[in-house]
Structure 1
């Protein structure tokens, strides 16, 4: 029976030579194992070779394999049992007690209000179908007028009045990001971003053959002087910014820093992709760069493509995001790129999101999420008092570790004790070494479950290493 399958000897049937031009070696290992799982070459309970043995077989450093195994644990594919070895993880079940603090998702997805929001949205979608709306047919283009109007309402607090004709409905923020990279750059072009950045950008850039170049940051975020230097080296077409509760460092750019970065991008003819999923839950963020650009931004300054998604403040499963196009920018290339990626948004989910916005339920849900996150942040502040950077309503924390810390060991021990976290390597845009953990607070089903998980993590940190003192809350 597969539930009892646990091989004593490692399964080596999946191992293939690494490819010289196949990208980062640790990522090739991750892809090999993930593909083997999909193809049933590796099955739940199969043991992987010891890290040192696999490193020898593939001709790579031990750290490369360690990093790959760490990434697989973060993806939920690998289960480490210390000296017992590493195994392909079984499907989630009622016996799986791991609390995932490695993924940024909003809390309350199992709450009564969210269930009410979904029931109301589904009922509304059924009414639309009953009245002759071809909701379940193909819908190519920027989105139905009713959905774009709702998006304009959603964006109004960030950007002010937005012409619905400038809005593109997308099936999630990742597809929006991919479409904009296709639109604003060509293969081989440079995308500028901070040295620690959103992993989705790194994945999209690699897939689309864009080169990611790290720009130095200071305590306030990306440095305008460093951006100036990066632009002077040439080859850059796009600047990617995550300006509010930055993922992973939690920094929020000030209004002055946003204006300074926009000015540099304008001088060098960059297009800006402003990925801003946390603006609504922050509650204290300055106006986005897209608002600073103003009506003439596309003509007299850097065009800013603004992405807002419902994934981080309502639910990832709604798969609904919005692009606010720069004034004067052609919308057709973005639509062409989106069609090549996903053809169209899921109309059913978009209808649910639209109803939630129109009725104000989405706004009420955001308030509930912000309140819950404030309580969870306070709980984390009591249990993880050292070295933590955070925002009072943020989905995650950033915990810097001392120089001698071994993040891979910490993550492995945490996984063994039922706590999943993400380490800095997942966010690196260059080869710099960052010893830190990103701890997400929304994955725990309740505050009590979060408390137990954080207490376990705190105990592990005290056993292994004492984290560096905090330099201040951001």
Structure 2
């Protein structure tokens, strides 16, 4: 602890960064050896004269970097470098369910199996009976026509404006679709991408891969603030806005049509392109998509990950009017398109009536879990909807997000801090996101949330507000 204290006192800047830097340099100088146990959060905070939440945030940063490893019930330890970690291959059938490990992950939505596994297996069996040329030749635009028509059926009821199959490009999940759109739109040495001030981290990661600068746009209770958007577009000569108006990740906010029209008008005046990420919507769309409001400048991305399965990595991007060729070229030049069997499976799944009946059952089962979560946590500031696969929880006085996440994991519950959805130097409110895990029993899910509620009701410190 003395090593960390000395280095902390010699470091300037935000305190959480100073703590992380002190630990990082101690590891680099071998003053903290691999496997060394770090002090508990509260003990180190007392020694350094700072809040436990600040230390918890530093531990979280270093854990994300791979410098530390947190073990439930044991503490936080210095991790071995990736090159020194011995790989252990565990057969797929030996992974233990949450009931046996005692850990319930609420990091990302986990869908129940209400029959889609059997449907997917049947789809693979159908593929195995197809002619051999499907397994011998390169993908082609014509070969993918059935899959694109199947996506059109999937999009029935989504208000995207005029659309045909030539506007659609299949992708390896929604994240790949986001990258494809960015490659189609961004140009220049240092393009600028705008995002909501709390946003899906995949936007930032995709932009950084393309050496783009990411700038956050302030929000209010209806989403992006149009005047702030226009100011930042003009200030930075921004090329693309990434947004989720139907179901904002992570807060669950919904952007009404009047606000969408204002945002579309800003984009029209400034030449800004809009990428709408609709991957988290599991129910019907409530308002027009930006592609309908701004047909020449708006792109749309979605996937089957939140309604059927994320395992297949089936997603799609929809180009603005008359720009489908531009999007196709990005995919073809990058990876030739999906593997033919995966495209054929997409066509099979999305054209079968059984798939849509299964989706209704998935939504109904997820809603059961959401209702349980609201019953347990409803006494706190909670944003939720029955068709939303996560909940946004504003923390009571006395809790910081990073500290709660660490305390929750010690109780066997994994949740996401608001820090993960803010830009690196952006503001993160005292809040967490809880994804619905319908792969554990409803009893285990409720028990995990009950442990979380106990933590919320008994904060470690009182902070003046």
TM-score range, shorter chain: 0.7 to 0.9
Question: Structure 2 length as normaliser, TM-score?
Answer: 0.79
* CA distance 1:276–1:72, shift in 2 (3 Å): farther
1:81: how far off? 5.3
Residues 162, 292 of structure 2: 8 Å contact kept: no
CA–CA distance in structure 2, aligned partners of residues 64 and 181 of structure 1: 35
Residues 193, 215 of structure 2: 8 Å contact kept: yes
Report what 2:371 is aligned to: 378
Q: Name the SS for the 1:305 alignment partner.
A: strand
Report what 1:393 is aligned to: 387
Q: Name the SS for the 1:273 alignment partner.
A: strand
CA–CA distance in structure 2, aligned partners of residues 74 and 368 of structure 1: 35
* CA distance 1:344–1:112, shift in 2 (3 Å): same
Question: Are 2:77 and 1:86 aligned?
Answer: yes
1:348: how far off? 2.9
Report what 1:96 is aligned to: 101
CA–CA distance in structure 2, aligned partners of residues 467 and 161 of structure 1: 55
Flag structure 2 segments of 5+ consecutive residues without an equivalent.
Answer: 1-15, 46-50, 81-87
Q: Name the SS for the 1:203 alignment partner.
A: helix
Residues 142, 335 of structure 1: 8 Å contact kept: no
* CA distance 1:330–1:324, shift in 2 (3 Å): closer
Alignment: residue pair count: 415
Report what 1:67 is aligned to: 57
Match of 1:323 among 317, 330, 336: 317
Stretch deviating more after TM superposition (283-292 or 451-460) = 283-292
CA–CA distance in structure 1, aligned partners of residues 289 and 182 of structure 2: 20
Report what 1:283 is aligned to: 284
Residues 63, 70 of structure 2: 8 Å contact kept: yes
Match of 1:233 among 222, 232, 235: 235
CA–CA distance in structure 2, aligned partners of residues 86 and 322 of structure 1: 41
Question: Are 2:199 and 1:208 aligned?
Answer: no
Match of 2:348 among 355, 371, 376: 355
Question: Are 2:303 and 1:309 aligned?
Answer: yes
Deviation digits for residues 117-142 of structure 1, max 9, x if unmatched? Answer: 112211221222xx244146432659
Residues 400, 467 of structure 1: 8 Å contact kept: no
Question: Structure 1 length as normaliser, TM-score?
Answer: 0.78
1:433: how far off? 3.1
Report what 2:258 is aligned to: 256
Deviation digits for residues 150-184 of structure 1, max 9, x if unmatched? Answer: 11111222136631111101111111111211221
1:51: how far off? 8.9
1:336: how far off? 2.6
CA–CA distance in structure 2, aligned partners of residues 189 and 255 of structure 1: 29
* CA distance 1:330–1:153, shift in 2 (3 Å): closer
* CA distance 1:332–1:284, shift in 2 (3 Å): closer
Report what 2:111 is aligned to: 107
1:85: how far off? 3.4
Report what 1:17 is aligned to: none
* CA distance 1:332–1:283, shift in 2 (3 Å): closer
1:49: how far off? 5.1
- Note the aligned Cα RMSD (angstroms): 3.6
1:254: how far off? 1.1
Residues 400, 436 of structure 1: 8 Å contact kept: yes
Report what 2:155 is aligned to: 155
Question: Are 2:409 and 1:415 aligned?
Answer: yes
